[in-house]
Structures are given as structure tokens and as C-alpha cells.
Amino acid sequence: MNIVEWLKRIMVGFGAAWVMWLLIILSIVSVAVMLERAWFFLSIRDNLANLSKRLRELLRKGDIEGAISDMGKSPSAEAAVVVAGLMEADRGPKAAEEAMRGAAALQRIRLEKRLAILGTLGNNAPFIGLFGTVIGVVMAFEELGKHSQAPAGEAAAVMAPQTVMWAIAEALVATAVGLAVAIPAVMAFNFFQRLIKSTLANTETLSGVLLSYLHAVDAGTAAPPGSEEQRGESS
């Protein structure tokens, strides 16, 4: 027995049903990831305009501690990045910028969590379905070969087309299921990637507010950090 015959017997023996079950399991995993990521992105939403306004007001007073406290209450990735910069504000704009760059990288990892699963399923589910299709076609030809060798008769003549059609139908269903798994996964992956790009772009807004304040402090045109506390103590 050569390797081709051996592989054919394995394919015919196992059939294409296991491919269907694998695709069903992968579809459940895909839906679970979509729902988890959708809930995550909803849970970290915040009003960027309101955050920016509050941050400006606190920085105009030089109230860095108040800004850290206020921004820390926000669940958003944008606020988490600017908090990292605020923590380094006393060391100057360069240190704050580097801190925010590092925080943005950490937030990207957090935002992209589990999205690789959707990307992998979107790219590979059609090939898994195609593999099931190949198995189905092999089974169809195997059945056709068996009936062609059988004694001529009406029953054999009727059974052969039915068996072959069933195997071909199973093969096409595998392709369809593979596409049904891949298409939503690709759409969700692209949607979440756009959200990530938008979120990281928004971090630049708050980062810009903080850096402009720190540069103004260096130029002597803005209240230095801690000036709000100093006014409170003097009063």
C-alpha cells in the first residue's frame, strides 16, 4: 500500500464530520471572544472632551495631584496614559512624554488582547472548511469507484448517484461553514482594530494637553506643579 492509498483510507475512514464539529467549536470560541472584547471596549469608554476639559482646568491651577486623582477615576485607556505622564510631571516634559509612550504601549497590549484569535480564525477557517471539502470529494470518488465495480443492476445504479451526491453535499457544507466562521471573525477583527487605532489616537489628545502645560511651565507662562497646594497653605 502506497502513501496515497493510506492517506485516502484515513480520510474516508474518519470522514468530514469531525471537520464540521471543529468548525462549530471554533465558531463558539470566535463568538465568545467577540462578546468579551465588545464588553471590554464598552466598559472603558469615557467622554474624551470632558476628560480634556477637566485636565486643562486642573493643570491651569498647577494641581498635578488633583489631576492624577481625577484622571485615575476614569476607566479609559486615554486617562491611564496621561496618568503615567502626570506621575512624571515634576521631572519635566521629556520624562512625562517617555512615560506616556510606555503607558500607551502597555495599553495597546491590553486593547489587543485575544484579537489574535479572531485574526487567526478569519485567516484559517476557510482552509479548514476547504480541507473538509477535499475529504468529501475523496469520499465521493471512493463511493463512485465502489459502485462502478459492483454488479450491474437497478439498485446499484440508483444508489451510486445518491451516495455521490451526499458526499459532494457534505463537502460543500464544509466550505460554507468555514466561510461562516471566517467572515464574522474578520469583520469583528477589523472593527476592533479601528477602535484600537481611535483609542490610541485619542491618547495623543490628552498627552498633548499635559505636554503643552509642562512646556509652558518651563517657559514660565503657566502655574508650576504644586502651586495650588501652596496657595491653600498660605491661605
Give the model's confidence band at 146: pLDDT under 50 very low, under 70 low, under 90 confident, else very high: low
Give the model's confidence band at 233: pLDDT under 50 very low, under 70 low, under 90 confident, else very high: very low
Phi, psi dihedrals of residue 19, rounded to the nearest 5°: -65, -40
Q: Is residue 161's pLDDT more than 70?
A: no
**Helix axes of 154-219 and 115-149: crossing angle, nearest 10 degrees:** 170
- What is the model's pLDDT at position 141? 75
Residues 19, 39: Cα–Cα separation, whole Å: 30
Q: Is residue 4's pLDDT more than 70?
A: no
Given a contact cutoff of 8 angstroms between Cβ atoms, the answer to whether 30 and 184 are in contact is yes
> Among 1-15, 73-87, 127-141, which stretch is predicted with the lowest mean pLDDT?
1-15
Q: For residue 101, which of 88, 85, 89 has the smallest C-alpha distance?
A: 85
- What is the model's pLDDT at position 160? 56
The stretch 147-151 carries a mean pLDDT of 57
Task: Name the DSSP letter for residue 149.
Answer: H
Listed by start position, the domains of the chain span 3-234
Burial 151-176 (b: 16+ CB within 10 A, else e): eeeeeeeeebeebbeebbebbebbbe
- What is the model's pLDDT at position 235? 44
The stretch 91-96 carries a mean pLDDT of 92
Q: What is the pTM of this model?
A: 0.81
